[in-house]
């Protein structure tokens, strides 16, 4: 971003992401350097300050199920928004509660769980090493019956910057199976990673000039 600014290639020191949740459409998403495309979000972005430079890490207030706090963030929670991670990752105990609430009895095979535990111990740098986990996503995305009843599933939301951000519940037809968007990963801090499952619902702005991250409903 510094080089782009110095060369006069961009007006503002920021970049923004839009990820298209509709797999059948031709345009899979958009990244804009130096600006924000108003066609891909509605309303204003909610911004929170970056707490760790270089990682786009920020603090958030809570994780909620049907509007009820899970009580995990009493001492604060930290997260990064990362388009390179498919799912949402968080501490195993909390992810298990969420998956149980939406009907996933066993998120991963024992082999995959062991892989997560091994890789969790390797996470000295939460960004450089967590991507090793992506190799196991195919084995770990447990599916479960009940997509026709997806609307009856509990609402999962994150409180960020004083606003609740609800995750979209998708169904792909009467005979479809659903896959959990939550993966257990005990990274240091502890640290949550809000991957494509979250960023597909919320247009994301990485404001380099003001060291902040912003979210608005994606359209």
- Please tell me the predicted confidence (pLDDT) of residue 118: 47
| pTM recorded for the entire structure | 0.80
- Token look-up 């359209």 returns 219
| Residue range 147-193, pLDDT digits in tens | 656 778 899 999 999 999 999 766 454 445 567 889 999 988 789 99
Going from N- to C-terminal start, the domains of the chain cover 2-218
Statement: residue 47 has pLDDT above 90? yes
pLDDT of residue 160: 98
- CATH fold, domain 2-218, is Cathepsin D, subunit A; domain 1 (2.40.70)
The pLDDT score that the predictor gives to residue 125 is: 52
């Amino acid at each position: 971003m510094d080089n782009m600014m110095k060369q006069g290639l961009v007006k503002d020191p920021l970049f923004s992401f839009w990820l298209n949740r509709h797999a059948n459409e031709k345009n899979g998403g958009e990244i804009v350097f130096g600006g924000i495309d108003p066609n891909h979000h509605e309303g204003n972005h909610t911004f929170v300050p970056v707490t760790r430079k270089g990682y786009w890490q920020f603090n958030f207030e809570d994780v909620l199920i049907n509007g009820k706090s899970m009580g995990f963030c009493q001492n604060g929670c930290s997260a990064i928004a990362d388009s390179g991670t498919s799912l949402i990752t968080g501490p195993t105990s909390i992810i298990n509660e969420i998956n149980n609430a939406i009907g996933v009895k066993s998120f991963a095979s024992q082999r995959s769980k062991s892989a997560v535990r091994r890789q969790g111990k390797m996470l000295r740098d939460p960004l450089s090493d967590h991507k090793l986990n992506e190799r196991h996503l195919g084995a770990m995305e447990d599916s479960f019956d009940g997509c026709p009843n997806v609307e009856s599933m509990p609402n999962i939301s994150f409180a960020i910057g004083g606003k609740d951000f609800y995750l979209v519940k998708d169904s792909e037809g009467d005979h479809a199976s659903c896959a959990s968007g939550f993966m257990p990963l005990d990274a240091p801090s502890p640290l949550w990673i809000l991957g494509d499952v979250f960023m597909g619902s919320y247009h994301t702005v990485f404001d380099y000039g003001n060291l902040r991250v912003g979210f608005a409903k994606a359209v």
